[in-house]
Amino acid sequence: MYLTELSLCNFRNYERLHLEPDAGLNLITGENAQGKTNLLEAIYLLATGRALRAGKDDELIRWNAEEATVQAHIYREQSLDVRVQVILSRAQPRVVKVDGQTYRAATALGQFNVVVFSAIDLEVVRGQPADRRRYLDVEISMLSPAYARALMGYRRALEQRNRLLKGIREGGGTVTPSIIDLLEAWDEQLVRYGSGVIVARERFICALRPLACAAHAELSEGREQLDIRYAPAIEEAQGEREQVAERFRQQLRKMREEEIRRGTTLAGPQRDDLLLLVDGKEARTYASQGQQRTVMLSLKQAEFELTLQERQEPPVVLLDDVMSDLDDLRRSQLLRMTLRGAQAFITATSAEAFPRQILAVARTYRVQNGRLEVVQ
């Protein structure tokens, strides 16, 4: 799968851009603050529904503009080509269109896959559990639209249930039978969507583990061992969906008094974590910067392989300004993905960061103040 066209209108510092990228390697060079990351962010947004950096859609719209559009045409070998469009507006919720038809944002995800590597990704290794949950959510959603829907359902149910618990606490903690009924109705919603989320996370991590470990063994030249484990907040949450649901139900029952006292939901996948261990120790706390980077690279490589397995096509690779920070082994490992038939967008302040054999096959662009031109 690869982008045959990309158009931006009032997205970040791009007033207008129309690009017909190479199906292989695209190098985006330019000084600082010219729009390199912004371009990758647009592609990432189309694939994941999320921005790389921004919290709100507002931040993605060009200053002084009311609306931004990002659009791409994606060639896919395994299914029909598709046109994906995201329209961001200051006044209204965003609109996502696939082949001109409007969808709820979560349903439109997964039209194509990206593997992105930028400095922010290191937060997955060294950041908080919330960073790792976000990572899981983005990755799994790209492979499974059903996951994105379950997640959305779960968030809605969680929000409502928290509102109810807060209301009970503010009302002095009195629990009438009708309140119990209401709470149990929300419990069931939580369990229904939440068990789907838990099972999908477990499966994803199981599939990713051997791939990431193999990549890590290669990168560390067999000196270190990576392990990846799911740390679900629901105890003993392994197994089939029904078993997981039952465990979740039990935990909610056990926690109910505490939840009413605290006025919030305490059990559930909103408290999950992903454990990344190097030689048995948590990378977040114990790994050096170099080791953390190796873990991240291994995850990226594993994502690439997993997408290839599940989609029978390589994902689009986005590398934001990471080449100069890597040694030769890691750099060539990263670039190898792109040499296996993937389309790649790689940014750097100068083309000097790239080996000559890469430059020979790549299309090079230069970006200046939101304008892109082909250099070669």
Ligand X SMILES: Nc1ncnc2c1ncn2[C@@H]1O[C@H](COP(=O)(O)OP(=O)(O)OP(=O)(O)O)[C@@H](O)[C@H]1O
Pick what 201 binds: ligand X, Mg ion, none; C-beta below 5 to 8 Å, kind-dependent: none
What DSSP letter does each residue of 7-44 carry, written as one string?
EEEEETTEEEEEE---SSEEEEE--TTSSHHHHHHHHH
Question: Which of residues 52 and 70 has its CB atom nearest to Mg ion in the complex?
Answer: 52
Among residues 34, 195, 338, 343, which is the contact residue for ligand X, using CB under 6 A? 34
Neighbours of 293 (CB within 10 A): 22
- Binding of ligand X by 33 (CB under 6 A): yes
* Three-class DSSP labels, 170-196: HCCCCCCHHHHHHHHHHHHHHHHHHHH
Question: Which of residues 37 and 292 has its CB atom nearest to Mg ion in the complex?
Answer: 37
Contact 283, 295 (CB under 8 A): yes
Among residues 7, 29, 38, 270, which is the contact residue for ligand X, using CB under 6 A? 38
Smallest gap from Cβ 17 to ligand X, in A, equals: 12
Smallest gap from Cβ 60 to Mg ion, in A, equals: 15
- Binding of Mg ion by 118 (CB under 5 A): no
Contact 353, 242 (CB under 8 A): no
Please tell me the distance from the alpha carbon of residue 239 to that of residue 38, in angstroms, as a whole number.
41
Q: Segment near Mg ion (CB under 5 A), from 36-44, 66-74, 204-212, 261-269?
A: 36-44
Residue 93 one-letter amino acid: P
Q: Segment near ligand X (CB under 6 A), from 61-69, 129-137, 172-180, 328-336?
A: 61-69
Q: Does the CA dihedral 52-55-56-58 come out positive or negative?
A: negative
Q: Is 64 exposed, middle or buried (0-12, 13-18, 19+ CB in 10 A)?
A: exposed
Q: Segment near ligand X (CB under 6 A), from 54-62, 83-91, 165-173, 350-358?
A: 54-62
Within 296-335, the residues that bind ligand X by CB under 6 A are: 321
Question: Which of residues 64 and 78 has its CB atom nearest to ligand X in the complex?
Answer: 64
Among residues 3, 19, 36, 125, which is the contact residue for ligand X, using CB under 6 A? 36
Strand partners, 70: 8, 86
Smallest gap from Cβ 375 to ligand X, in A, equals: 15
- Binding of Mg ion by 37 (CB under 5 A): yes
Question: Which of residues 27 and 157 has its CB atom nearest to ligand X in the complex?
Answer: 27
The size of the interface with ligand X (CB under 6 A), counted in residues, is 16
Q: Segment near ligand X (CB under 6 A), from 33-41, 121-129, 182-190, 280-288?
A: 33-41
Smallest gap from Cβ 120 to ligand X, in A, equals: 11
Smallest gap from Cβ 13 to Mg ion, in A, equals: 11
Contact 124, 318 (CB under 8 A): no
The alpha helices in 263-365, defined as continuous H runs, are 283-286, 289-311, 328-339, 356-361
Smallest gap from Cβ 63 to ligand X, in A, equals: 4
- Binding of Mg ion by 294 (CB under 5 A): no
Question: Which of residues 36 and 132 has its CB atom nearest to ligand X in the complex?
Answer: 36
Question: Which of residues 38 and 343 has its CB atom nearest to ligand X in the complex?
Answer: 38
Among residues 7, 26, 29, 37, which is the contact residue for ligand X, using CB under 6 A? 37
Residue 51 gets which letter from DSSP?
-
The alpha helices in the chain, defined as continuous H runs, are 36-48, 122-126, 129-143, 145-170, 177-219, 241-262, 283-286, 289-311, 328-339, 356-361
Pick what 349 binds: ligand X, Mg ion, none; C-beta below 5 to 8 Å, kind-dependent: ligand X
Please tell me the distance from the alpha carbon of residue 355 to that of residue 272, in angstroms, as a whole number.
41
Smallest gap from Cβ 291 to ligand X, in A, equals: 24
**C-beta pairs of 284-293 under 8 Å, 24+ apart in sequence:** 284/125, 284/126, 284/127, 287/125, 291/224, 292/122, 292/125, 292/126, 293/122, 293/325, 293/326, 293/330
Q: Give the residues lining the site for ligand X (CB under 6 A).
A: 12-13, 30, 32-38, 59, 61-63, 321, 349
Q: Give the residues lining the site for Mg ion (CB under 5 A).
A: 36-37
